[in-house]
Amino acid sequence: MTATPIYGWPTPDGTDLVSDAPAQFWALATGIEDTVNDNTRRIAGRWTGATGLVAGWTLVTWTAETEDTDGFLTPSATTVTIPAGLGGLYQAHVRVNTLLTTSVTPEVAIRWTTAAFGQLYDVQRYVNNTNYLLGSYARCNINATQDLAPGDTIEIYSKCSSNAASATQELIISRIGL
């Protein structure tokens, strides 16, 4: 049997015996199925933390896990690591929620540490409190994308213009491209 040049799928050639055809077709079919699964399955994670906001940048600790398809992070850790074989284009969405009675300015930063580009930052600053039915909240959101290779990392930092009694954070990551 020979192999296709891009994906390496095994394919029958002119020297293979007809009696080997069922096993050869099975090998080809499972090769195709594995490739489709590897390139289209959901690869994602979702974690929450409750790191209080202070005037200086603070690294967020992720204390609870809602979803982690591939072992990106262990709860009580601060760093998401891209697992072996799962490089690609990733999107990170971060929310910082604070219940505030005074006007403050929460900020959030994503630090991407990559072998290819070094350390890169995406930063968002929120300047207005929003009044909801349940109280006054300041929510700072950021969405960003970055090409990441296995071993590259994601860390989230947050801060506030003045101390806040409490804050919760949420991180959602998804591989959105190869």
Task: Tell me the per-residue pLDDT of 62-114, one tens digit each, with 9 for 90 and over.
Answer: 999 999 999 999 889 999 999 999 999 999 999 888 766 556 678 899 999 99
DSSP letters along 87-156, please? -EEEEEEEEEEEE-SS----EEEEEEEETTTEEEEEEEE----EEETTEEEEEEEEEEEEEE-TT-EEEE
What pLDDT score does 49 carry?
94
Predicted confidence (pLDDT) per residue in 28-56, tens digit: 888 888 888 777 788 999 999 998 888 88
Could you say which DSSP state residue 16 is in?
Answer: S
User: Which domains are present in the chain?
Assistant: 2-40 (no CATH), 44-177 (2.60.120.40)
Question: How confident is residue 165, by pLDDT bands cut at 50, 70 and 90?
Answer: low
115 CA to centre of own chain = 17
Tokens 């289209």, located at residue: 40
Q: Please compute the mean of the pLDDT values over residues 119-144 and round it to a whole number.
A: 74
Instruction: Supply the pTM of this predicted model.
Output: 0.79
